[in-house]
């Protein structure tokens, strides 16, 4: 199978942490704990917002969308990552690999879009607080969420079909613990230019454009805050943005770090690059529920009431 010039792969081999296979038992507890915190934390945030009608406001509805997207990312990577470290199962069939790639990228694109929507929400809340709920009505928020979900699906929909039509050759070993388009595109020996061009367009029109618009939103927020005469008012306005700024940093800093390591540290240990890649996908779903629980009084109180209900 490996020696033939062309083949249709029935499965791919995923990579854990090369050179550290003997230490896999030591990674079981950390990875299981990370997934447990991510899944339980985001599920609790969704449950609190759903149960508490006073939280059915724009800021918290967008937070629910973010929690949903992060649940999707965590659930998409969990089977293969824990399969490798718990059972040494590093095989994944071709169709399952394509589905995992589709799911990971869809939810990641949605997560980036929700962070942009949340930055616009913060700008509207500070720029025009009296008309905040009149501008960001529930139908508009629902339409925004539906548009973000539809956009991510439509952008990613062609990629699995473009990959499936290509002949594969050489080997079927992927360089991560889960399936990514950037990995899969390295294996075919046919013309991958349509895949590469579409992939670049997707990255540019989502992560690239979203990050620029988030920066623009905060420039406008800062300009608006500087126009507030009261020092106390400025601090209060900026304090409403702290949780979102932390969420943006938690999302984009690992992404930039992974890109820099792959670009400028090509001779770094493979285990380091793969560990950073796992951190990039796992850290936001773990930290964001903690950030919003600590910094947002309403979420914190809702979690306490949900976990420790009064008799």
As a whole number, mean pLDDT of residues 55-80 equals 94
Q: Span 70-98, mean pLDDT?
A: 92
- Reported as a single tens digit per residue, the pLDDT across 227-236 is 888 888 889 8
Mean pLDDT of the chain: 88
In whole angstroms, give the CA distance from residue 157 to residue 136.
30
| 241-298 residue pLDDT tens | 999 999 999 999 888 877 777 666 666 677 777 877 888 888 999 999 999 988 888 8
User: What CATH number labels 11-307?
Assistant: 1.20.1070.10
Of 11 and 242, which is predicted with more confidence?
242
The yes-or-no verdict on residue 301 having pLDDT over 70 is yes
pLDDT in tens, 186-203: 888 878 888 889 999 999
Q: Mind listing the pLDDT tens digit for each residue in 23-52?
A: 888 888 999 999 999 999 999 999 999 999
Predicted pLDDT of residue 2: 42
Please report how many Cα atoms fall inside a 13 Å half-sphere around the Cα of residue 200, on the Cβ side.
6
Which residues are CB-contacts of 167 (< 8 A; sequence separation ≥ 6)?
6, 7, 8, 188, 189, 190
In terms of DSSP bridges, do strands 11-13 and 91-93 run parallel, antiparallel, or are they unpaired? antiparallel
- pLDDT confidence band for 5 (50 / 70 / 90): very low
pLDDT in tens, 109-158: 999 999 999 999 999 999 999 899 899 999 999 999 999 999 999 999 99
The pTM assigned to this predicted structure is 0.92
C-alpha Rg value of the chain to the nearest Å: 21
Mean per-residue pLDDT for 81-100?
90
């Amino acid at each position: 199978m490996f020696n033939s010039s062309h083949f249709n792969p029935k499965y791919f081999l995923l990579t854990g942490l090369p050179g550290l296979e003997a230490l896999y038992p030591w990674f079981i507890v950390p990875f299981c704990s990370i997934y447990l915190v991510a899944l339980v934390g985001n599920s609790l945030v969704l449950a609190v917002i759903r149960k508490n009608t006073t939280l059915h406001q724009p800021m918290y509805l967008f937070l629910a969308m973010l929690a949903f997207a992060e649940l999707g990312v965590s659930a998409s990577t969990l089977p293969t990552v824990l399969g490798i470290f718990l059972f040494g199962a590093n095989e994944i069939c071709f169709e399952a690999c394509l589905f995992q790639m589709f799911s990971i990228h869809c939810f990641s694109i949605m997560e980036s879009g929700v962070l942009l929507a949340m930055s616009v929400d913060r700008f509207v809340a500070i720029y025009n607080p009296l008309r905040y709920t009149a501008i960001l009505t529930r139908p508009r928020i629902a339409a925004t969420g539906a548009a973000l979900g539809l956009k991510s699906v439509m952008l990613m929909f062609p990629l699995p079909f473009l990959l499936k039509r290509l002949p594969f050759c050489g080997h079927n070993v992927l360089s991560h613990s889960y399936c990514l388009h950037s990995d899969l595109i390295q294996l075919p020996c046919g013309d991958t230019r349509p895949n590469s061009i579409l992939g670049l367009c997707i990255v540019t029109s989502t992560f690239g454009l979203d990050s620029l618009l988030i920066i623009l939103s905060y420039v406008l927020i800062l300009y608006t805050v500087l126009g507030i005469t009261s020092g106390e008012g400025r601090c209060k306005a900026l304090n409403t943005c702290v949780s979102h700024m932390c969420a943006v940093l938690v999302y984009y800093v690992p992404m930039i770090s992974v890109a820099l390591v792959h670009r400028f540290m090509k001779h770094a240990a493979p285990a380091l690059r793969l560990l950073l890649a796992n951190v990039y996908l796992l850290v936001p779903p773990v930290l964001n529920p903690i950030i919003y629980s600590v910094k947002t009084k309403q979420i914190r109180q809702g979690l306490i009431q949900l976990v420790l209900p009064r008799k």
